[in-house]
């Protein structure tokens, strides 16, 4: 019998996850389908009951349910607990288990472009302190990095994330302070929504202080190349957009549901076709 998977969110019409997962099911010849479901906050609990009742294989969870879904699950994976959010639910015979693949999706995409550099020796700056930053921060910590700082408009939100970590590993700062210190970092990651369609002309901070060969990464994928990434490229940085993170978080979720790690190029092509672009990274 065909297995049903899906993504829940509010809004959800713009989701590209169905294209990505259905292309993988098709390529692998699996009898499965993936749909987008519009679920409002007051319907979240009944939607999760529906997953059990219908025997669905699992779900992706997106805005605004990544935190609130946790109380309706039977078990939460340790990394998702640290992050404090779930983006993937696996239905194991009626037992719903929550995972977070966003951060590890990002880490996998970063490893693709690190080339001869290693994560353990890298000094990394995260810009932003929202849900995506939390996921990336705790996933990078799992990998072990030399330095992992957070700059944010509201410094208190950055402090909340790094709370409990040694000051030699992580510090929180404002955006202006970060701007002056950018030469200290090997990898700079924008996790804010600044530069995202329709506010395409805004940048999170000026890159005038970066050293050459810095990796500048923006987790936004619409547009495929933000103005900030254009500026980074003009300064000689190695740049990366958010398609990789999106594709790898999807691949890791797919593996949790099916036990099969899917073909990344098939997933990436499904997304790039949808976005109408060809930027590989
Ligand atoms: P979020 O929880 O709402 O956090 C937003 C962050 O952006 C906060 O740090 C916020 O700062 C900052 N921010 C927003 N507007 C700002 C402004 N005008 N000036 C300065 N800072 C501003 O959002 P999120 O869930 O982390 O998502 C952030 C971005 O990541 C979105 O663009 C989303 O599409 C993208 N994303 C991509 C992927 C992927 O797979 N590629 C996955 C998840 C998210 P304050 O703390 O000061 O409010």
pLDDT digits (tens, 9 = 90+) for 213-241: 899 999 999 999 999 999 999 999 999 99
Asked whether residue 145 is assigned to any structural domain, the reply reads yes
- Residue 15 annotated as binding site: yes
**Mutational pocket test of ligand 1: of 192, 220, 222, 275, the residue with most ligand atoms within 8 Å of the beta carbon:** 192
pLDDT at res. 212: 86
- Which pLDDT score, from 0 to 100, does residue 87 have? 98
Catalytic site residue 66?
yes
Per the domain annotation, does 281 fall within a domain?
no
Is 116 in contact with 99 (CB distance < 8 Å)? no
Whether the predicted model's global pTM rises above the 0.85 cut:
yes
- The CATH number of the domain where 35 resides is what? 3.40.50.10860
- The CA distance from 189 to 218, in Å, is 6
CA dist list (Å): 18 to 1, 15, 85, 272: 19, 7, 21, 13
Residue 199 — very low, low, confident or very high, per pLDDT cuts 50/70/90?
confident
Structure confidence at residue 198 as a pLDDT band (50, 70, 90): confident
**Residue pair 226/281 in contact by the 8 Å Cβ criterion:** no
> Is residue 78 located within the same domain as residue 91?
yes
- Work out which ligand 1 atom sits closest to the CA atom of 153: 47
Ligand 1: distance of its center to the CA of 128 in Å? 6
Per the structure, the complete domain to which residue 96 belongs is given by 3-100+244-275
Say if 280 falls within a structural domain.
Answer: no
Considering the candidates 35, 66, 171, 256, report the single residue annotated as catalytic: 66
Instruction: Tell me the CA–centroid distance for residue 92 and ligand 1, in Å.
Output: 32
Q: How far apart are CA 238 and CA 278, in angstroms?
A: 17
Q: pLDDT tens, 97-110? A: 999 999 999 999 99
Question: Does 182 share its domain with 214?
Answer: yes
Specify the ligand 1 atom closest to the Cα of 242.
Answer: 41
Same domain assignment for residues 67 and 167: no
CATH number at residue 148: 3.40.50.720
Same domain, 251 and 187: no
Same domain? 26 vs 72: yes
Q: Is residue 33 part of a domain?
A: yes
Q: Is 203 annotated as a binding residue?
A: no
- On whether both 166 and 224 belong to a single domain, the answer is yes
Nearest CA to ligand 1 atom 1: 130
How far is Cα 34 from Cα 19, in angstroms, rounded to an integer? 8
Report the atom number in ligand 1 closest to the C-alpha of 127: 9
DSSP 155-208: HHHHHHHHTTS-TTT--EE-HHHHHHTGGG-SEEEE-SSTT-TT-TT--SS--T
Residue 218 is assigned to a structural domain of this protein:
yes
Measured at the CA of 131, the angle between CA 145 and CA 106, to 5 degrees, comes to 45
Indicate if 257 and 215 belong to the same structural domain: no
Domain tally, the chain: 2
Paired tokens of 81: 């607990």
Q: What are phi and psi of 199, to 5 degrees?
A: -90, 60
Note whether 70 and 113 are same-domain residues.
no
Domain co-membership, 269 together with 215: no
Do 213 and 251 belong to one domain? no
Annotated binding residue 87: yes
Shared-domain flag, residues 120 and 152: yes
- At 115, is the pLDDT very low, low, confident or very high (cuts 50, 70, 90)? confident
The pLDDT assigned to 262 comes to: 98
Which of ligand 1's atoms lies nearest the C-alpha of 105?
Answer: 40
**One domain for residues 111 and 236:** yes
Ligand 1 contacts (CB < 6 A) are 102, 128-133, 152-154, 157, 191-194, 196, 219-221, 242, 245-246, 249
């Amino acid at each position: 019998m065909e297995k049903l998977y899906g993504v829940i969110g509010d809004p959800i019409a713009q989701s590209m996850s169905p294209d990505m997962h259905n292309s993988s099911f098709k390529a692998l010849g699996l009898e499965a389908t993936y749909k987008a479901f519009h679920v409002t906050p007051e319907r979240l609990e009944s939607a999760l009951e529906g997953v059990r009742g219908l025997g669905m294989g699992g779900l992706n969870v997106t805005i605004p349910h990544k935190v609130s879904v946790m109380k309706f699950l039977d078990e939460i994976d340790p990394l998702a607990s640290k992050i404090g959010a779930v983006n993937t639910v696996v239905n194991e015979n009626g037992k719903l288990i929550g995972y977070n693949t966003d951060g590890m999706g990002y880490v996998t995409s970063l490893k693709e472009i690190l080339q001869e550099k290693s994560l353990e020796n890298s000094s990394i700056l995260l810009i932003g302190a929202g849900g995506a930053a939390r996921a990336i921060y705790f996933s990078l910590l799992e990998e072990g990095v030399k330095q992992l700082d957070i700059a944010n408009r509201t410094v208190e939100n950055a402090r909340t994330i790094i709370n409990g970590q040694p000051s030699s590993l992580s510090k929180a700062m404002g955006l202006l302070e970060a701007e002056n210190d950018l030469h200290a970092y090997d990898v700079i990651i924008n996790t804010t929504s600044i530069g995202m369609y329709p506010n395409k002309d805004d940048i999170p901070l000026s890159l005038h202080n970066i050293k050459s060969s810095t990796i500048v990464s923006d987790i936004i994928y619409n547009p495929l190349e933000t103005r900030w990434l254009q500026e980074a490229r003009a300064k000689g940085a190695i740049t990366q957009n958010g398609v990789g993170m999106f594709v790898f978080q999807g691949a890791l979720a797919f593996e949790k549901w099916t036990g099969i790690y899917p073909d990344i190029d098939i997933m990436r092509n499904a997304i790039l076709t949808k976005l109408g672009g060809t930027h590989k990274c």
